[in-house]
Amino acid sequence: MKANECMRVLAKHRGDAVVVCALGMAANEWWAVTKSEDSFYMHGAMGFAASFALGLALSIPDTPVWVLNSDGSLCMNTGCLLTEAGQQPRNLKHFVVDNQCYQTVETMPMVNQDGADYAVMARGAGIQQATTIDNLAELDRRMPEIVAAPGPYFIRLRIEAEPDYQRAPPATYEGPEMKYRFGRAMEKKLGIKVFGPRGF
Amino acid sequence: MDVNDKIHAQLVKAGVRLAASLPDDWVNGLINKVEQDNTIRHVRVGREAETICICAGAFFGGVRSVAIFGNTGLLTCTGEMATLCLRHAIPVFCIVSGRGSIDDHKVYQEVQGRRTIPLLQAYDYPYKIIDKEEEIEDIPNAYEWHRLQKRPFVLFLTKKLLGTNA
C-alpha cells in the first residue's frame, strides 16, 4: 500500500483521536489527507514523537491518542517502546509507517533495511498487542478492532517506498503557530486549559 | 522534612502532576519522593530526551510536569530541547543535578561542570542554581516564570544543597 492511501484509511477510522505525527513523510501525508488542527506535526526532535504522544496520552487519559510514527524515527529512539510499555497507556495507539527508507531525504535506505521486524521488537519491549499490516483491505477490516481495543497497541504499517514520489508538502503553518493552533484545538475539543489567562 | 521533601512539596505547590525521570545519584532522592506521590504520574525513561518530549506532550494536555535527571543527560538532550521546544516555543521545567562543581570530584563529571552553563547560555535556555534550602521556596515562582519564557528551563540542585556524599 502507498502512504497516502494508508492515511486515508486511518483517517476514516480516526473518530475522536488526537494525533501526533513524526516529522517528515508521516506528518506531511496526514496533513495532506486531513488538514486537521487537532493534530501535532513535529518539526524536530526526530525519534521523539512517540514520547510526546505518551506525555499527551497520560495527561488526557479519557481521550484516544494516536502517534503516527515512522520507521526512521522509531530507529532513532527504540527505547520509546520500553517507556510506553512501562506505562501501559490504555488510550494510546502507536502506528509506524514503515517503508524501509528515509523518504524525505531521497529515499536513502533504512538502517538494517528489511532486516528488522518492529512489531516483534514492540512485543519484546512489553507491548503485548503488536501487529504488522501490509495491505489496505486488511487495514480497513482491522481498524475497528484496533480502535476499540485498549492500548497500548503497536501497528506496523508496511508501505511501499516511492522513489519517484512527489513529496507531500508539510502543513502550512509551523513553529509557535503550531503550538497555539494545536493548544487551542485541545482546549476547544477537550474543555481543558492549556494556556493561562494571559495566554502563556 | 528533608531537602527532597521540601523540593517535592514546592513542585506540588506549583501544580506539577506528571514527572519524567532518569536516575542520577544526586537526584534519586527526589525521584523516590515523586514515585511515592500518588497525585503525580511518574514516568521512568531510558534516555533523558524522552523526559523533555513527554513533558512537552503533557503541556498540551493541560498538565504541569517536571523532567528530572543528571547533568550528563542534559548535555545529551539539548538537540531535542532546541528542535522541539525552541522551535515550537514549548516550556519544559527541568530539575538537574549540578554535577561537576568544585566539590564534585568524579572524573566523569568534569566536562559537564565546565561546559554546561556556557552551553545553556548559547541556546538561551534560562536556568537557576539552588544552593540553599531557603531558595527552594522559589520553585513555584520559577515554574510560572518558565511558562512565560516559553522554552526549557533548568533548575540545578547543588551538592551542598542536597548534602550528598555521592
Cell triple for residue B137? Answer: 521556596
| pTM over cut 0.90 | yes
Cα nearest neighbour of B49 on chain A: A48
Mean pLDDT for all residues in chain B: 97
What single DSSP character describes residue B58?
Answer: H
Q: Do B83 and A44 touch (CB under 8 A)?
A: yes
Using the predicted structure, report yes or no on whether residue A170 has a pLDDT greater than 90: no
Beta strand A108-109 pairing with A39-41: unpaired
Contact of B45 with chain A, judged by CB distance below 8 Å, is answered with: yes
Between CA A73 and CA A65 the distance in angstroms is 18
Question: Given pLDDT bands bounded at 50, 70 and 90, which one contains residue A164?
Answer: low
Nearest CB among B57, B60, B87 relative to A44 is that of B87
> Rounded to a whole number, what is the distance in Å from the CA of B59 to chain A's nearest CA?
7
Q: What share of chain B in percent tops pLDDT 90?
A: 98
Give the model's pLDDT for residue A107: 86
Whether pLDDT at A166 is above 90:
no
State what percent of residues in chain B have pLDDT above 70: 100
The number of angstroms, rounded, from the C-alpha of B86 to the middle of its chain's C-alpha atoms is: 17
Tens of pLDDT along A23-58? 988 899 999 999 999 999 998 999 999 999 999 999
Contacts of B41 in chain A (CB under 8 A): 58
Q: CA A64 to CA A186: how far, in whole Å?
A: 12
pLDDT digits (tens, 9 = 90+) for B10-39: 999 999 999 999 999 999 999 999 999 999
Residues 80-139 of A with CB under 8 A from B: 80, 82-83, 86-87
Round the average pLDDT of chain A to a whole number and report it: 95
Give the pLDDT mean for A98-111: 90
Query: Could you give the percent of chain A with pLDDT greater than 90?
Result: 88
Summarize pLDDT for A59-88 with one digit per residue, the tens.
999 999 999 999 999 999 999 999 999 999
Given CB atoms, is B43 within the 8 Å cutoff of chain A? yes
Q: What is the mean pLDDT of residues B149-159?
A: 97
The pLDDT-based confidence of A165 (bands split at 50, 70, 90) is low
Angle of CA points B109, B110, B113, to nearest 5°: 90
Q: Minimal Cα distance from B91: which residue of A?
A: A200
- d(Cα A57, Cα A67) in Å, to the nearest integer? 10
Closest CB to B80 among A48, A57, A187: A48
CA–CA dist A83, A85 (Å, integer): 5
Cell of B93: 521545567
Q: Does residue A103 carry a pLDDT above 90?
A: no
Is residue A196 classed exposed, middle or buried when 0-12, 13-18 and 19+ CB atoms within 10 A define those classes?
Answer: exposed
For B126-138, what is the mean pLDDT? 97
Q: ipTM for the complex?
A: 0.97
Nine-digit cell string for A91: 488510550
Cell 540542585: give the residue. Answer: B157
